[in-house]
Amino acid sequence: MTAPPEASGSAYPDNPVLVRAWRGDGVESVHRGAFCLVDTAGNVLESAGAVDHPFFARSSVKCLQVLPLLETGAADRIGLTDEELCLAVSSHNAEDAHVRTARGLLGRLELAEEHLGCGPQPPGDPAARRALQESGHEPGRIHNNCSGKHAGFLALTRFLGADPASYLEFDSPGQTLVRAAVADMTDRTPEELGVAVDGCSAPTFRTPLSALALGFARVTNPDGLAPERRTAAERIQRAVAAHPVLLAGEHRRLCTAIVRASGGRLFPKIGAEAIYAVGVPGEDVALAVKMDDGGLRGLHAVVVELLRRFELIDDAGARALERFRASVLRNWAGIEVGRVEVL
- In this prediction, residue 3 carries a pLDDT of 52
- In this prediction, residue 9 carries a pLDDT of 57
Cross-strand bridge partners of residue 21: 29, 340
**C-beta of residue 302 within 8 angstroms of C-beta of residue 18:** yes
- In this prediction, residue 95 carries a pLDDT of 96
Backbone Cα Rg of the chain: 19
DSSP 99-146: HHHHHHHHHHTT--GGG--SPP---SSHHHHHHHHHTTPPP-GGGSTT
**C-beta of residue 146 within 8 angstroms of C-beta of residue 87:** no
Model-wide pTM > 0.85: yes
**CA contacts within 13 A on the Cβ side of 126:** 3
- In this prediction, residue 5 carries a pLDDT of 52
Nearest to 96 by CA among 62, 63, 142: 142
**C-beta of residue 208 within 8 angstroms of C-beta of residue 55:** yes
Amino acid found at 121? Q
The conformational region for residue 215 under phi > 0 = left, psi -120 to 50 = alpha, else beta, is alpha
Q: Report the C-alpha gap between 121 and 232 in whole angstroms.
A: 30
Q: Along the chain (343 residues), what's the average pLDDT of each consecutive run of 10 residues? A: 54 94 95 97 96 96 98 96 98 96 96 96 94 93 98 97 96 97 96 94 97 98 96 97 97 95 97 97 95 96 96 94 88 94 92
- In this prediction, residue 4 carries a pLDDT of 56
17-342 has CATH 3.40.710 classification? yes
